[in-house]
Amino acid sequence: MREINIGLLGYGTVGTGVAKLLIENKEILTARVGAHLNLKWIADIDTETERGIRLPDGILIKDAHKVVSDPEIDIVIEMIGGEGIAKDLIVKTIENGKHIVTANKALLAGHGNVLFAAAAKKGVDLAFEASVGGCMPTIKSMRESLVANHINAMTGILNGTCNYILSKIADEGITFQEALAEAQKHGYAEADPTLDVGGFDTAHKIAILTALAYGMEINLKDVFVEGISKITPLDIEFAEQFGYRIKLLAISKYENGRVEARVHPTMIPFDNLLASIKGTVNAITISADAVGDILLYGHGAGMMPTASAALSDIVDIARNILSGAVGRVPALSYQQENIRRIPILPIDELVTHYYLRFSALDRPGVLSTISGIIGKYGISLQSVHQKGRKMNGAVPLVMLSHAAREADVKRALNEINALDVVSNEAVLIRIENEKLD
């Protein structure tokens, strides 16, 4: 039986999952692939901690460079993370003519263009299914299943930590800080949660998907990012009254040559399936011309789901090697020479619906002053709700706008925030009204 030699870099959570699948699910892998996927090396600085897997003697070593330069190794799995040593090792792997599988979204979002070009030039695969959406077959579906489609839009819940926190706030009426503490207690959030709750992890993912969907270079720096730390139970409660749930969404659209790519808390109607996605799971809707909408749902993180995604890449590459295929599917779906540089729309030019909440003193004329300013900037309102309940002497005044330009909304809010009769900064939450096709 033929053998494919695999070297694993990083024996942390996901690395352990990869080793576990290669060893414990060996029989089913062999039955399907028709070859032996041999885990030849695992490199990690920590060779002592017990991970609960029986490894063959001597395969766990400290020297990652030994792995990427071993001529017998066919595929290298990078599960170190970060943009430092991981990047150097990926570059070295490509230079050595080996295929590489990674889950490193931060690295790809920041340096993917260079790395993909290097891999294409060398004729090796750089596979990254595990970098977005864990076990949801996101990359494969876009690159292979939807290959004959023009992809028009993607809307995703791509960070389980944020979705868990927002679900907690919604279900239990607790504050963001309390929900974050819960998430940390259960191991769903890091001690420093900024990457997740700040929306940056989600931005890495949508930057990669945006490139893949529309055939463009990855452009992380122009993806708009707003995190969830300002979401309050009060806004979630108002949202529910209007028939919306608040989710941290990654939104990407392509229309008339213009690309939107943004990450922010978003109100979506109850009957959008994404509104029903609770807890740590992920889901994404992909809209395309032939299929309409498809939706994928699954665990977006965690040891085994992420390892399963990495294994799908490993097997894809193994099947290429076994069947004699070279350069079968380009990393970003499009042939390298067809990848364009398309600017991402600045957030100020976004046109969408807005939820605006003001803390207004309960005095005559306040509503008229505020709505006057809104009208001055050409923003029309679909509804206005003033609730009797006072908070610190102020009354929440909630407005839902028709489609408006973000720059105009911001200018109006600046003027309103400066009013004496307004006590706190206005809350702005964007609304997505599109239904699944």
* DSSP assignment string, 214-262: HTB----TTSEE--STT--HHHHHHHHHTTEEEEEEEEEEEETTEEEEE
Q: Which segment (81-89, 232-240, 287-295, 361-369) binds its own copies by CB under 8 A?
A: 287-295
Least separation in angstroms between CB 307 and its own copies: 6
Least separation in angstroms between CB 28 and its own copies: 6
Concerning whether 92 is annotated as a catalytic residue, the answer is no
Q: Which is it for the CA torsion 53, 59, 65, 69, positive or negative?
A: negative
Q: 284 and 136 in contact (C-beta within 8 Å)?
A: yes
Q: Does the footprint of its own copies cover residue 38 (CB under 8 A)?
A: no
Q: Does the footprint of its own copies cover residue 120 (CB under 8 A)?
A: no
Among 48, 187, 192, 290, binds its own copies (CB under 8 A): 290
Among 145, 175, 229, 424, binds its own copies (CB under 8 A): 145
Question: Which residue in 205, 221, 247, 253 is the catalytic one?
Answer: 205
Q: Does the footprint of its own copies cover residue 157 (CB under 8 A)?
A: no
Which C-beta is closer to its own copies: that of 322 or that of 421? Answer: 322
Q: Which is it for the CA torsion 147, 218, 129, 152, positive or negative?
A: negative
Radius of gyration of the chain (CA): 24
Least separation in angstroms between CB 8 and its own copies: 14
Beta-strand pair 422-431/258-269: parallel
Q: Which segment (85-93, 227-235, 295-303, 368-376) binds its own copies by CB under 8 A?
A: 295-303
Instruction: For residue 52, give the 3-state DSSP assignment.
Output: coil
The neighbouring-strand residues paired with 341 are none
* Sites for its own copies among residues 311-330 (CB under 8 A): 311-312, 314-316, 319-320, 322-330
Least separation in angstroms between CB 172 and its own copies: 17
Q: Which segment (199-207, 280-288, 399-407, 412-420) binds its own copies by CB under 8 A?
A: 280-288
- What is the torsion angle, in degrees rounded to the nearest 10, for the CA atoms of residue 115, residue 9, residue 204 and residue 436? 110
Q: Does the footprint of its own copies cover residue 304 (CB under 8 A)?
A: yes
Least separation in angstroms between CB 299 and its own copies: 5
Alpha-carbon distances, residue 431 vs 149, 168, 210, 282, 435 (angstroms): 27, 21, 20, 20, 12
Among residues 320, 328, 373, 377, which one has the least CA distance to residue 348? 377
Instruction: For residue 153, give the 3-state DSSP assignment.
Output: strand
Count of residues that interact with its own copies, criterion CB under 8 A: 68
Q: Does the footprint of its own copies cover residue 33 (CB under 8 A)?
A: yes
The C-alpha atoms of residue 238 and residue 215 are separated, in whole angstroms, by 39
What are the tokens at 207? 């930057």
Q: Does the footprint of its own copies cover residue 31 (CB under 8 A)?
A: yes
Q: Does the footprint of its own copies cover residue 295 (CB under 8 A)?
A: yes
Among residues 89, 127, 86, which one has the least CA distance to residue 110? 86
Q: Does the footprint of its own copies cover residue 69 (CB under 8 A)?
A: no
The C-alpha atoms of residue 321 and residue 325 are separated, in whole angstroms, by 6
Residue 268, judged by CB atoms within 10 A of its CB (0-12, 13-18, 19+), counts as buried
* Sites for its own copies among residues 397-436 (CB under 8 A): 436
The C-alpha atoms of residue 220 and residue 109 are separated, in whole angstroms, by 6
In this structure, how many other beta carbons lie within 10 angstroms of the beta carbon of residue 301?
23
* DSSP assignment string, 178-208: HHHHHHHHTTSS-SS-HHHHTSHHHHHHHHH
Least separation in angstroms between CB 426 and its own copies: 34
Least separation in angstroms between CB 427 and its own copies: 29
Q: Does the footprint of its own copies cover residue 117 (CB under 8 A)?
A: no
Question: Angle of helix 105-122 relative to helix 200-214, nearest 10 degrees?
Answer: 30
Among 177, 276, 382, 417, binds its own copies (CB under 8 A): 276
Among 199, 227, 265, 305, binds its own copies (CB under 8 A): 305
Among 103, 108, 146, 195, binds its own copies (CB under 8 A): 146
Which C-beta is closer to its own copies: that of 335 or that of 383? Answer: 335
Q: Does the footprint of its own copies cover residue 16 (CB under 8 A)?
A: no
List the x/- string, 198-237, binding to its own copies by CB under 8 A: -----------------x----------------------
Among 63, 88, 255, 289, binds its own copies (CB under 8 A): 289
By annotation, the residues acting in catalysis are 205
Binding interface with its own copies (CB under 8 A): 17, 21-22, 25, 28-29, 31-34, 129, 134-137, 140-141, 144-150, 215, 273, 276, 281, 283, 288-299, 304-305, 307-309, 311-312, 314-316, 319-320, 322-330, 333-335, 338, 436-437
